[in-house]
Amino acid sequence: MTAAWLTVVLVGVVSLVTKGTGPVVLGGREIPVRVRKVIALLAPTLLAALIATQIFTSGHSLVLDSRSVGLGVGALALVLRAPILLAVVLAAVATALARAFLHLP
Amino acid sequence: MTSSRKREFQSDVLAGIRVAIPLALAVFGFGVSFGVVARSAHFGLLAPLVMSATTFAGSAQFAAVSVVGTGGGVAAAIVAASLLNSRYLPIGISLAPAITGRTPRRLLEAQLVVDESWAVSHLGGGRFSEGRLVGAGLLLYVGWLAGTVVGLLGARLLGDPNRFGLDVVSPVLFLGLLRGQITNRRAALSAVLGAAIALVLVPFTSPGVPLIAASVACLLGLVRT
């Protein structure tokens, strides 16, 4: 098996198990109230962490580049109550322009 | 399932699909970048397509393919993908009460979980809708696969997908989802704290570790007010 296919199979198995464990082991069962209070915060917290790492990091460094410009434009569009898709398109255009004309990475 | 519960499930599925339409377009864009990256990493056509169909986890797929493409080896690729996917453990536990039925069905529905479908199925207060997860998950799956195909086939024409700013598609999408998730001050505080923990850890840890560590901020839920 080539490295590519081995990666495909193993990553697939890892994903199947990590995604499946909670619903298979605990599926359909009620969660205690205290645990649910913690879980209620998981969505905002993980989304914020995903945004931060996808915008402000490059490898192991913290950076401000064209992506920050795009995020700023996207955030402004969302504050002005633009639909998500419009905000995404404006952000991508702003990032592309900053990359092409301001020569930001 | 009784007929009234079945109808409710079906209307939840439709609601999930409706909410996920703009997200599916953005996920399509993310899929295009994955296809281009997989092509330049010499994964061929079939392997990345099978990966998108069976793994369906953008960030893990991206990381694994990039690591192998830059000569990092299969073992390092699996570690990177596992760390990036580790957030699906707590995410899966959060969804567990909502996912019902026999084991094979629960396992299958769990595979429709990605950040976006999970956020769409969150009804607030830690409760989730199975129907919305299935509706949103299926549409996002189609978007992800279609994007992968376009990226693989158009790789030569598209060149570097970041030229089009595609690398901000996913974070801005998450920002739009985050807007609906900040329902009180505690959620806002936990979000800021989570982002801060993640950024502080980035210089010192492997990708994925900052994300799972950020979830520690959720323990704020135990603080009495």
On chain A, the residues whose CB falls within 8 A of the CB of B57 are 15, 19
Which chain A residue has its CA at the smallest distance from B64's CA? A7
pTM of the shown model: 0.87
Angstroms from B219 CA to nearest CA on chain A: 6
AA identity, residue A40: A
On chain B, the residues whose CB falls within 8 A of the CB of A71 are 168, 171-172, 175
CA angle at residue A43 from B59 to B29, to 5 degrees? 35
On chain B, the residues whose CB falls within 8 A of the CB of A78 are 175-176, 179
Angstroms from A72 CA to nearest CA on chain B: 9
How many CB atoms sit inside 10 A of residue B126's CB? 21
How many CB atoms sit inside 10 A of residue B40's CB? 15
Residue matched to tokens 């409706």:
B18
- CB contact under 8 Å between A45 and B97, yes or no, is no
> In the structure encoding, which two tokens stand for residue A6, read together?
């081995």
User: Are B138 and A53 a contacting pair, CB within 8 Å?
Assistant: no
Assembly ipTM? 0.89
Whole-number pLDDT of residue B148: 96
- CB contact under 8 Å between A27 and B103, yes or no, is yes
Question: What is the rounded distance in angstroms from the CA atom of residue B163 to the CA atom of residue A100?
Answer: 8
User: Are A50 and B192 a contacting pair, CB within 8 Å?
Assistant: no
Question: What is the rounded distance in angstroms from the CA atom of residue A42 to the CA atom of residue B91?
Answer: 8
Angstroms from A32 CA to nearest CA on chain B: 11
Q: Tell which of A31, A37, A39 to mutate to test the B interface (max B CBs under 10 Å).
A: A39
Whole-number pLDDT of residue B52: 97
Q: Which chain A residues in 14-73 lie under 8 Å from chain B, judged by CB atoms?
A: 14-16, 18-31, 34, 36-57, 60-62, 66-67, 70-71
Whole-number pLDDT of residue B1: 64
Confidence of residue A19 (pLDDT cuts 50, 70, 90): very high
Helix (H, G, I), strand (E, B) or coil at B124: strand
Mean pLDDT across B57-72? 88
Direct distance between the N- and C-terminal alpha carbons of chain B, in angstroms, rounded to an integer: 40
User: Are B121 and B133 a contacting pair, CB within 8 Å?
Assistant: yes
Please determine, for residue B10, whether its predicted confidence score (pLDDT) is greater than 90.
yes
**Which are the contacts of B108, defined by CB distance < 8 A and separation ≥ 6?**
none
Span A46-102, pLDDT tens digits: 899 989 999 999 989 999 999 999 999 999 999 999 988 899 999 999 999 999 988
Which chain B residue has its CA at the smallest distance from A65's CA? B168
Please determine, for residue B53, whether its predicted confidence score (pLDDT) is greater than 90.
yes
Instruction: Tally C-beta pairs within 8 A across A and B.
Output: 313
- CB contact under 8 Å between A36 and B89, yes or no, is no
Q: Tell which of B25, B175, B202 to mutate to test the A interface (max A CBs under 10 Å).
A: B175
Mean pLDDT across B43-65? 94
On chain A, the residues whose CB falls within 8 A of the CB of B173 are 84, 88
CA A73, B155, B78, B25 torsion-angle sign: positive
Span B114-155, pLDDT tens digits: 999 999 999 988 899 999 999 999 999 999 999 999 999 998
Mean pLDDT across B96-113? 95
Strands of chain B (E only): list them: 122-124, 127-128
